[in-house]
Amino acid sequence: MPTTVTAYAAPAADQPLVRTTIERRDVGPHDVRIEIRYAGICHSDIHTARGDWGPVAYPLVVGHEIAGVVVEVGAEVTRHAVGDRVGVGCMVNSCRECAQCQAGNEQYCLNGMTGTYAAVDRDGSTTQGGYSQQVVVVEDFVVRIPDALELDVAAPLLCAGITTYSPLRHWGAGPGTKVAVVGMGGLGHMAVKLAHAMGAEVTVLSQSLKKQEDGLRLGADHYHATSDPDTFTALRGSFDLIINTVSAVVDLDAYLSLLAVDGTLVNVGAPAEPLPVQVFSLIPARRSFAGSSIGSIAETQEMLDFCAEHGLGADVEVIGADQVNEAWERVLASDVRYRFVIDTSTLA
């Protein structure tokens, strides 16, 4: 028998979230049942629920920054036990057979990884996310949250953390490298903390200097306003790596001009509109423009262990479930420092 749990769901693209109930499947041999304690609010939740990225089925429960405790395990589960502190991020399954899954890059599954919400699960049902009391997930897609991390500050690491950690690692951020982070939001504030902890020299490029004090406190060495044209002249050719977290259209050529020879600009922000680029922003300095999507399960575990070792969590504002609609409006207005996290005990 499926279990009925309370959740906050979007009834339609243009309606506020409402308290409702959803069913979670029985725990299969390889599943774990997680009692969700905290669920982070990611900008993607809003885009998906409002149909900005294509049609979805309603009612829809979003949330892919899940931190909780294991309350039941299937007969053949070996990776987790009842009582374990665990997390679930943006994916809950993949095909496990393609070259990318075999290589441990299940986030790039050639048959499409299964998203934590609004995706068709391997059994044909639609996945429902973390704004709920419980979730049932196959054990391989559940990660361990180290004791040194509180669950509320750990929740946003499952999307914002891994989304920035993976490209920083892939493109070699570390001592002797200069990294710029564009945007000081949920993703940006984690990119600053992580790049600093990896030993890179970190510069924040933000629209204004409003969050400068925060940026420097989180580990940035330098902070510049992109509204000031002098920023682009002063920093020309400086960076080995730029992580762009902004999900709006920016002047890509201006940012590419800030890269050193062989530098890479990686977009993790996902604007719906195309980003035009002059090829001559790339050719004369062998620059690259790239994208990156979350990280593998193994890398997500590595990121959590790294965060525990360096005492890094997200900067969060914990809210009750009845504040979610208001929180969404504030996320859209960039009025959060730096991640809302729902205390899911308030769903009871």
Identify which range of 79-87, 154-162, 192-200, 279-287 contacts Zn ion by CB under 5 A.
Answer: 154-162
In the complex with Zn ion, the residue whose CB is nearer, 117 or 239, is 117
159 binds Zn ion (CB under 5 A): yes
Pull the structure tokens for residue 166: 């993976």
In the complex with Zn ion, the residue whose CB is nearer, 70 or 109, is 109
In the complex with Zn ion, the residue whose CB is nearer, 42 or 119, is 42
In the complex with Zn ion, the residue whose CB is nearer, 312 or 331, is 331
Strand 316-319 versus strand 114-115 pairing type: unpaired
CB of 246 to Zn ion, least distance (A): 15
44 binds Zn ion (CB under 5 A): yes
Task: Give ∠ CA 236-240-242 in degrees, rounded to 5.
Answer: 80
Report how far residue 68's alpha carbon sits from residue 79's, in angstroms, rounded to the nearest whole number. Answer: 15
98 binds Zn ion (CB under 5 A): yes
DSSP state of 121: -
Q: Which of 32, 33, 41, 94 binds Zn ion (CB under 5 A)?
A: 94
95 binds Zn ion (CB under 5 A): yes
CB of 103 to Zn ion, least distance (A): 10
CB-based burial label for 13 (10 Å; 0-12, 13-18, 19+):
middle
Residue with token string 């070792």: 309
Report how far residue 209's alpha carbon sits from residue 213's, in angstroms, rounded to the nearest whole number. Answer: 8
Count of residues that bind Zn ion according to CB under 5 A: 9
Identify the three-state secondary structure at position 197: helix
In the complex with Zn ion, the residue whose CB is nearer, 100 or 134, is 100
Report how far residue 129's alpha carbon sits from residue 334's, in angstroms, rounded to the nearest whole number. Answer: 23
42 binds Zn ion (CB under 5 A): yes
324 binds Zn ion (CB under 5 A): no
Report how far residue 12's alpha carbon sits from residue 328's, in angstroms, rounded to the nearest whole number. Answer: 15
Identify which range of 108-116, 173-181, 205-213, 297-305 contacts Zn ion by CB under 5 A.
Answer: 108-116
CB of 247 to Zn ion, least distance (A): 11
Q: Which of 109, 119, 149, 243 binds Zn ion (CB under 5 A)?
A: 109
SS3 content of the chain, % helix, strand, coil (to 5): 30, 30, 45
Report how far residue 284's alpha carbon sits from residue 300's, in angstroms, rounded to the nearest whole number. Answer: 36
Identify which range of 34-42, 50-58, 132-140, 255-263 contacts Zn ion by CB under 5 A.
Answer: 34-42
Strand 143-144 versus strand 201-206 pairing type: unpaired
Residue with token string 């300095």: 285
Peptide bond into 338 cis (omega under 30): yes
CB of 44 to Zn ion, least distance (A): 4
101 binds Zn ion (CB under 5 A): yes
CB of 163 to Zn ion, least distance (A): 7
**Binding site residues, Zn ion, CB under 5 A:** 42, 44, 94-95, 98, 101, 109, 111, 159
